[in-house]
Amino acid sequence: MFFLGIVIHGFLLRRVAASATPTDEQWAQLNQTVGGRLYTSLPLAASCFSTVNGLPSTPNATECSLVQQGYTQPDFRFAHYSAHMMPQWETCQSTVQRCLLNSNDPSDPAAWEDNECWQGAIAPYYIDVRSEDDVLEAISFINETGVQFSIKASGHDYKGRSSFGSLSLWMRNLDSLSYSANFTPEGGNATYPAITVGAGTPFEDVYSFAEENNITVIGGYHQTIAASGGWVQAGGHSILSPIYGLGVDRVLQYKIVTLDGVSRTVNEFQDPDLFWALRGGAASTFGVVLESSMLVEPQMSLRVASISFNQTADNARGFLELLVNNSYKWGQEGWGGHMGPATLINVNPLLTLEEAQASVQPVVDYALAQNGTAVVEDLPSWQTFFAKYVESAEASVGVQTILGSRLIPTDPFFTDDDGKEALVDLMVKMVDTYAVNPYIIQGTPFLYNYTEGTTSVTPAWRSSLWQIGFHENMAYNATLDTMYAQYEIVNNITSWMRELAPNSGAYFNEANPYEPDHEVAFWGDNYPALLELKNKYDPFKLLDCWMCVGWQGPADERYSCYLNISSNY
């Protein structure tokens, strides 16, 4: 083993040979320093299989039954280190080595009778992180050994950034929550109403806590997204973002351990360059975030419009035209929400109930004419809305899901007749060509009073009205050819989106895993400064993840399990 070393803040930062493998003695020492919370891991469904990692194994019927029951349940997956919400990132896709159940029927015995179980992308060792000291010990170990590592909180990751490596830091149990009506960022004087959230705290806990404290947290659209994880570090959209901004607009302070082994509290007064980078530069890039403090709003009532009907070949275009023709007005009125060719769930904290009913009447009339349903109602709080509407409509888990998306600029697609028609044509083409429905999020910071240069997300967020996304699902036992074919569909549709809006960008967390020219798509003109800060705070690239700032590219050995869809790089 060899290393080059420099001393930063009294911490010896080493560049160790990339192929370095820790010895058993080193692993044992690490386990001791983290209080016995270093664990070995196997895939979530390993207990169902008789061959695991090439060796005979005795199935455990009790454990296997529990896995079957919880396989598509977000809280079950959230509670297990080896479970990812999108299980292709538990697998090695390029070699088709995996350990999956049939998400359509997890009790289907063909999954384990016809297949072997392989480790795939699951790190064989993980630390159940319970404190800042655990992270400091882990960083010391990583510098000492050169072991490749990843960071996982909830596993809501569509690109595999929280998978792979020999060691993982599992942040789930940093689940603290506190509220201060007079929070003061360190080094500052002004006070703000703010909530401070541990790295592993899910939004379902955050929203319940907010309800108890009569406040509103602007957050994600799924119960088990970790509020201080990749959501708030890569952008963080909400259906309240049109008025109140993105997650990165609302964060006041982070606590982070950087790769030089220094625990830092960063905000606009302390390490402001790193604070800027963390407000959009994404997770698993500049260090290990322990918690974030975010501005909150008073508890607010919401006007909710919930509209749906049975989609046919004849009625989708008409509804999409109504959405395109009304969305600019809705944006000006403060609406945000999720929409599709036959659905709409939007919220508005600004309008009265009567104003809200009048605002959405055209789409109500259309849905009712299709024998659909339409409700426009007043709900007392975000938590009430979330419990009634979101938990039954949020993204599925336990299913191999590929996403693609694009931010759609306001001008010309919502201000010009030709632009509107081109946008509708694109969405209809998705439906007609691949039977793929566009998933429309009116969650950009359309009305938010943004201070230029304060965050590092792509500037396309500030000039867009919609994000259009879509997904393709893969069967648990998809062949290699089938996987390539389904990624090709995603690539084709995202290429249509880029042709439609070539000067826009995409949301890092929800973009095509094989997005070409990703630096421009995800960060635009901010990328050179982010790369400079990556080199400053992680000079030896101890943290590297797929398409993250400073990514070393698909040829790096740690990415051998990704498919070879790299002709654009």
**Block residue for tokens 């959209």:** 237
Provide the phi-psi class of 397: left if phi over 0, else alpha when psi is between -120 and 50, else beta: beta
Indicate the length of the chain as a whole number.
569
What is the rounded CA–CA span in Å between residue 123 and residue 207?
31
Q: Which of 250, 285, 236, 244 is nearest to 527 (CA)?
A: 285
- Per-residue model confidence (pLDDT) at position 10: 41
pLDDT score recorded for residue 508: 97
Task: Tell me which residues of the chain have a pLDDT lower than 70.
Answer: 1-20, 566-569
Q: How far apart are alpha carbons 543 and 431 in whole angstroms?
A: 39
Calculate the dihedral angle through the C-alpha atoms of 124, 154, 162, 256, rounding to the nearest 10 degrees.
Answer: -110
Amino acid residing at 328: Y
What pLDDT shows up at residue 568?
44
pLDDT at position 276 is: 98
Task: Say what the pLDDT of residue 566 is.
Answer: 59
410: Cα separation from own chain's centroid:
24
State phi, psi for 278 to the nearest 5 degrees.
Answer: -75, -15
Query: How many other C-beta atoms lie within 10 A of the C-beta of residue 329?
Result: 11
* DSSP state for residue 11 in the 8-state scheme: E
Q: Express as a percent the part of the chain with pLDDT over 90.
A: 93
The vertex-405 CA angle with 467 and 106, nearest 5°, equals 115
Instruction: Determine how β-strand 336-340 pairs with β-strand 439-442.
Output: antiparallel
Three-state DSSP state, 305: strand
Cα–Cα distance measured from residue 196 to residue 389, given in angstroms and rounded to the nearest whole number: 26
**CA triplet 347, 350, 352: central angle to 5 degrees?**
90
Distance CA 83, CA 562 (A): 18
Query: Alpha-carbon distance 285 to 296, whole Å?
Result: 26
Q: Are 258 and 537 in contact (CB under 8 A)?
A: yes
CB 551 within 8 A of CB 535: no
